[in-house]
Amino acid sequence: MTEVASELGLLVRELEISRAWLVDPCADREGPGEIVVRDGRLEAVTWLDEADGAGIEPDGVIVVPGFIDLHAHFREPGFEDAETVASGLAAAAHGGFTTVCAMANTDPPIDDASVLGRVQSAAAASGSPVELLAYGALTAGRRGDSLAALGELSDAGAIGFSDDGAPIRSPSILRNGLLYAGMLGRLVVDHAEDPALTDGAEANEGLVATVLGLRGWPAAAEAGPVGRGLAILADVLRDEPRARLHFTHLSTGAALELVRAAKAAGLPVTCDVTPHHLALTDTWIAGARDWAWQAEIDPWLGTVQDADPFDSTLRVNPPLRDRADAQACLAGLLDGTADAVATDHAPHTRVDKAVEFGLAANGISGIETAIGILLAAVDAGKLPLRRAIGALTAGPAGILAAGGWAGTRGLVEGAPANLVVIDRSDTWRVDAGSLRSKGKNSPLLGRELPGRVLLTVAGGRLAYEA
């Protein structure tokens, strides 16, 4: 790899990566190759034939399109002690992301164009080349009573609408919101949770919650609203064929099965799963910290407790589920039921997490560890590399394109370079110092993750360099 010859935020004048493993899920292709970036443009993508590419393996340096995160919380305005747009974008670049969709649950929420403008200004002021997109709230104040300023938000560049974090209680508001957003050609992103079933809930309803005495969070609280949303979508489509519904952070086999059936029936529905829901389980709360795809363990029968129980970094909404659900998330990713992996990056201050488990703020700081978790699944033979990368690139790109996004999809010659260079032969240690996010609330602190990001180029400019 030649010197990048640039500083963070500046155009990449010249970059040549020869003899790397290229993965471009947007072209459904991977193999040995070379790339050349000049003056920020991806000048050449060369796929090597078998003879020239001999000895180049997918476990060395790989070059992939820049990642797209459909779901992140950057906390600005309102909660700048947890994250700012600038620190969030730096964390994103460290995680290999070149496009991030920020959620609207700021204070004030992004429910009108002025707040959206403030977020966009913060992104511009940060100097980060990572593309920041933002959702508008679906309802005014995210209160669920009446629609937010959807048209004005759309005109100002909102990529879609979501009340994420606040379940939409009223089926009528969801129905009207889907119809109105469909008219605008924008997505609705639904956080599927029935609050009547999760009032006071602390952890997935199952063995771990029972033994630890944590209030159970049933799977039905997710599958119920997913079923409701699909029925409403089918209804709305009769009036507005452009209506699109996306379920974010699905965590249960039951909900994924509903989406699978709806897709088979031709409904325009998409969904994402998070890295933590497919790799971590509720047994982590009991102190037994194996990846979900490793051999099943009962934390009270195992010989080793990896950590103390009740670690509040594991409190997240939806909760970490059991092994069967985590496997269902992985299976959904493998068969395409889940279109994308989204991080639900949810940074919190130490103060908001250094409390009793049930009182801790929900969320995991996860935008920097997403690729490492997926590569751990790849290394374990549970996920093909191309599918892992596709879930962070082609998958979310397709969903955003349906909502009017016109960014580059894949390694496209002549387009502004959006790419990530990862050394798969190296690992990195997750700790408070290595995370760029202000939110150090990661259950992976102290753990080595495979695949070190060496370089992230976003829009032709240098976003991160190891």
Partner 1 sequence: MTAAPPEQGTGGPAAVVPMALPVPSVDAAPASQPSPWPHRHLLDLDVVSWPEIELVMRTAEAMKEVLARPIARVPALRGTGVTILFYEASTRTRVSFEVAAKNLSADVVNIAAASSSVSKGESLVDTIRTVEALGARMIVIRHATSGAANLAAEHFSGSVLNGGDGWHAHPSQALLDLFTLRERLPGGSLHGRKVVILGDVLHSRVARSNIWSLTAAGADLWLCGPATLLRGFERWAASSADVPGHGRFQVTSDIGRALRDADVIMALRLQRERMAAGLLPSVREYAARYGLNLERLGLARPDALVMHPGPMNEGVEIAPEVADHPRSVITDQVTNGVAVRMALLYLLAGAAANDD
Residues that bind partner 1 (CB under 8 A): 202, 205-207, 209-216, 298, 300-303, 305, 308-310, 312, 351, 354-359
Q: What is the DSSP letter of 238?
A: T
Taking the complex as a whole, the smallest distance from the CB of residue 404 to partner 1 amounts, in Å, to: 44
Spatial strand order of the sheet with 244-247 comes to 67-72, 97-102, 131-136, 160-162, 187-190, 244-247, 269-273, 340-341
419-429 and 340-341: which strand pairing? unpaired
Beta carbon nearer to partner 1, 2 or 210? 210
Catalytic residue among 163, 325, 344, 423: 344
Beta carbon nearer to partner 1, 1 or 307? 307
Alpha carbon distance 364, 211 (integer Å): 23
Beta carbon nearer to partner 1, 154 or 312? 312
Beta carbon nearer to partner 1, 154 or 317? 317
Taking the complex as a whole, the smallest distance from the CB of residue 285 to partner 1 amounts, in Å, to: 9
Alpha carbon distance 97, 89 (integer Å): 9
Beta carbon nearer to partner 1, 30 or 205? 205
Contacts 24+ apart (CB under 8 A), 146-151: 146/173, 147/173, 147/176, 147/177, 147/180, 148/111, 148/112, 149/111, 149/112, 149/113, 150/177, 150/180, 150/181, 150/184, 150/186, 151/184
Name the one residue in this structure whose structure tokens are 């994308």. 340
Beta carbon nearer to partner 1, 144 or 287? 287
Beta carbon nearer to partner 1, 56 or 285? 285
Torsion angle of C-alpha atoms 370, 315, 86, 456, degrees rounded to 10: -10
For residue 91, CA distances in Å to 34, 86, 102, 332, 456 come to 27, 9, 13, 27, 11
Beta carbon nearer to partner 1, 318 or 459? 318
244-247 and 14-24: which strand pairing? unpaired
Alpha carbon distance 8, 11 (integer Å): 9
Give, for 29, the enclosing helix (H) or strand (E): strand 29-38
Alpha carbon distance 409, 364 (integer Å): 28
Helices 385-392 and 394-402, interaxial angle, to 10°? 30
Taking the complex as a whole, the smallest distance from the CB of residue 289 to partner 1 amounts, in Å, to: 16
Taking the complex as a whole, the smallest distance from the CB of residue 222 to partner 1 amounts, in Å, to: 18
Taking the complex as a whole, the smallest distance from the CB of residue 351 to partner 1 amounts, in Å, to: 8
CA atoms within 13 A on the CB side of 43: 11
235 catalytic, yes or no? no
Helices 253-264 and 220-237, interaxial angle, to 10°? 20
Most distant CA pair in the chain, distance: 64
Taking the complex as a whole, the smallest distance from the CB of residue 166 to partner 1 amounts, in Å, to: 21
Taking the complex as a whole, the smallest distance from the CB of residue 300 to partner 1 amounts, in Å, to: 6
244-247 and 269-273: which strand pairing? parallel
Residue 84: which region, alpha, beta or left (left: phi > 0; alpha: psi -120 to 50)?
Answer: beta
Give, for 228, the enclosing helix (H) or strand (E): helix 220-237
Report the catalytic residues.
Answer: 344
